[in-house]
């Protein structure tokens, strides 16, 4: 296991390796997918974690007294993401949406998921900054790598949230950021 950071941050970005399938370990997960659909476990190209495992990470120890937390989730885990906000004692602020161009029908229920969400949670007060973003959704090209988020989101976060900054479950280093994860 990689040593968890101990420094305090004003900005935390977290893209958890959500576990898909039927092995949820909290009562918070409910889905409109039938039991038949949930019986098939989806294999991810990285080690997954249950909601309980993610919630048990010492993430709140990273928070400065005023901290913005950006938590990535999919439609399938949106309730779990709000469970994490509560577990980490964060106030919900906004839901940001990454819209992706449809690529045909794939996994999902009646509708094929073409969006991912980044929930902005906060501890303390909003940072004093001079910029305000004019949208909560962006139609950005897919990166071509499963679960990899567009760099433009990090650029937007840098423009509105203070440093020091860390990305949890990071896949690459980023100038001016601390990173934690087994892919960096």
Residue 167 burial class via C-beta count within 10 angstroms: exposed 0-12, middle 13-18, buried 19 and up: buried
Let me know how long the chain is. 184
> Do 41 and 21 touch, CB atoms closer than 8 A?
yes
For residue 124, CA distances in Å to 19, 98, 155, 157 come to 30, 26, 23, 17
Percent of the chain with pLDDT over 70: 80
Q: What is the pLDDT of residues 87-133, one digit of tens each?
A: 999 999 999 999 988 777 766 678 888 899 999 999 999 877 667 89
Domains belonging to the chain, first-starting first, are 9-180 (3.40.50.150)
The whole-angstrom separation of Cα 70 and Cα 73 is 10
Q: Give the list of residues 6+ apart from residue 152 with CB closer than 8 angstroms, or none.
A: 138, 140
Q: Which of 99, 100, 93, 92 is nearest to 137 (CA)?
A: 99
> Do 13 and 154 touch, CB atoms closer than 8 A?
yes
List the pLDDT tens digit at each of the 184 positions of the chain. Answer: 588 999 999 999 999 999 876 433 444 444 444 333 444 455 666 678 999 999 999 999 999 999 999 999 998 899 999 999 999 999 999 999 999 887 777 666 788 888 999 999 999 998 776 678 999 999 987 776 666 788 899 999 999 999 999 999 998 899 999 999 888 8
């Amino acid at each position: 296991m990689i040593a968890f950071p101990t420094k305090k941050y004003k900005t935390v970005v977290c893209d958890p390796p959500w576990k898909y399938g039927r092995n949820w370990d909290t009562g918070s997960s409910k889905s409109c997918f039938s039991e038949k659909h949930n019986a098939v476990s989806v294999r991810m190209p990285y080690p997954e974690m249950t909601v309980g495992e993610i919630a048990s990470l010492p993430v709140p120890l990273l928070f400065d007294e005023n901290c913005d937390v950006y938590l990535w989730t999919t439609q399938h885990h949106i309730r779990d993401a709000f469970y994490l906000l509560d577990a980490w004692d964060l106030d919900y602020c906004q839901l940001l949406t990454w819209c992706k161009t449809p690529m045909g029908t794939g996994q999902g229920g009646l509708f094929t998921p073409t969006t991912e969400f980044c929930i902005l949670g906060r501890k303390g007060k909003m940072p004093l900054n001079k910029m305000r973003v004019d949208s909560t959704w962006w139609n950005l090209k897919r990166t071509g790598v499963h679960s990899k988020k567009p760099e433009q989101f990090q650029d937007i976060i840098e423009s509105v949230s203070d440093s020091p900054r860390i990305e949890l479950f990071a896949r690459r280093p980023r100038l001016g950021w601390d990173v934690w994860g087994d892919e960096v």
